[in-house]
Every structure is written in structure tokens, then in C-alpha cells.
Amino acid sequence: MTHSEPATNLAADALPDDTVGLLEGLTSTRSIRRYLDERVPPEALRSMLFAATRAPSGSNRQPFRMIVLTDSPKAIEAKRIIGEAARAEWGAKRKRDSYDTGSGTEASSPKSRMARSMQEYVDRFETVPVLVLPCLVRHRAPNPFEGASMYPACQNLLLAARAAGYGGALTGWHFGVEDQLRALLAIPEEVFIAATVTIGRPAGGHGPVRRRPMAELVFGDTWGEAPAWAVDPPGTRFTSAGPPREGPR
């Protein structure tokens, strides 16, 4: 390669064909929690993790590291550890947030569908094809901005999974069992385990996703007032999830 050749050409040549366009991927990638009993081949993992490593980070330090666990003895044990924690935490959250009362008693309600999806996810956690633990190598004391050097890589990973025909979900199920994971995987104490990401071939499908209207989320010159152009495309599907709405909207 000469200095006049753009380095991105090599990267593009090494990657598989994208199954979706960039904007379609951005607007249709949802959390996938149900997976087919299908192994994710190394070449697919390579593409996804390559995309993750291309993410931006503060001062371009690239302080993120990705521990990728598939079917080794350590991977099986890590899935078991997190699976047990996930079931305990979800059980507490399900009761605390009253998932089984109100609209949760209606099988077709979003609340009930979410509860079923999450229950199946945690019940079958040990069977997820791929478990990724995104980690942050800290070079200073914890601060409110360090996520900016971590979570773009996680989003790249999920978008790349979507592009390759797979899906994933980012959770925090590892919280509470970090000591066990550190001992099992030799993760240094100064390294922050930032998330738990599962990846596999979707048993269902991706988008279009349901989100709140742009006018509730995008403001112009004044807080709470959306600019005239903040209009969702025709056919956009909305959700009522999230923090309570303010005002008459």
C-alpha cells in the first residue's frame, strides 16, 4: 500500500457485505434477547469486533478492551455466574416495578411482552452464543466522562452485529458478581467492567423500533420546544415507555 491509498479500502475489503444500509441499521437495531441455538463463527466475530475497535475515544487512547466468551470452560462458567445474578436481579426488578400488575396482566400489553422477553432472556442466559464483557482500562480516577471512551465501542459492536445478520443486547447483569468474574478471567482491579453484551442469531427480528417522538426529545432554542423540522418520518412507530411525559404532549 502506498501513502496515497486510503487505509479504509483495506478495511472495507476485509469486511463482509453489509446486509443493511447505515441509516437503516441505526434506526432499526433493537435489543435482541432471544437467539437461535447457532454458533457465531470466528469470521463474524472478527468483523463485529473489528468495528468495535474502530470506535472513537477520548484523546484516541482506545482504553476499551473486549473479553469475548463463546464455549470454552471459562466462558461456560462466566455465563453461569452472570446468569444466576441476572435471574436474581430481574426477579427483584419484576416485583419492584410491578410488572405483573396493572397492564402487566394483559398478555398483549407492552409491559407484559417486556416481562416475558426478559424472563426468557435471564432463564436461558447460559445458552447465549456469545458473551462480551466490554472493559475500560482507567488511566485516571473514575469521572463522569469516561463512558464516552467506552460505550461508542459497544454501540459499534451492536451495529456491526446487526449488519452481519446477528443481534445483541447490552445489560449490566454483571454488577454484583464482578469479583467472581475478575478471579475467573484474570481481570485487573483497576479495570472497569462496563457492561454485559450478548450476541447471537436472532430468534425474532430487528426493527422498526418503537421510540418516543422526536418532538419530545429534540429541542431548538428553548428547552421543551421542538424545532419545526423535528418531525418523524411517515410510518414511525412510537412507544410510551420511559420517564413520564411533561405537559399535554
Which grid coordinates belong to 8?
479504509
28-48 in b/e form (b: 16+ CB < 10 A) is ebbebbbbeeeebeeebbebb
For residues 52 and 154, the answer to whether their CB atoms sit within 8 Å is yes
Q: Are 83 and 62 contained in the same domain?
A: yes
pLDDT digits (tens, 9 = 90+) for 48-99: 999 999 999 888 888 999 999 999 999 999 999 999 999 999 999 999 999 9
Q: Are 172 and 88 contained in the same domain?
A: yes
CA dihedral 87, 92, 93, 95 (to 10 degrees): 120
Q: Are 196 and 226 contained in the same domain?
A: no
Give the phi and the psi of residue 79 in degrees, each rounded to 5: -65, -40
- Mean local confidence (pLDDT), 143-151: 89
Q: Is residue 9 part of a domain?
A: no
Q: How far apart are CA 190 and CA 249, in angstroms?
A: 45
Q: Are 26 and 99 contained in the same domain?
A: yes
- Mean local confidence (pLDDT), 140-144: 86
Domain span at residue 153? Answer: 18-209
- Helix (H), strand (E) counts: the chain: 8, 5
For residues 72 and 66, the answer to whether their CB atoms sit within 8 Å is no
pLDDT digits (tens, 9 = 90+) for 112-138: 988 999 999 999 999 999 999 999 998
pLDDT digits (tens, 9 = 90+) for 176-198: 999 999 999 999 999 999 999 99
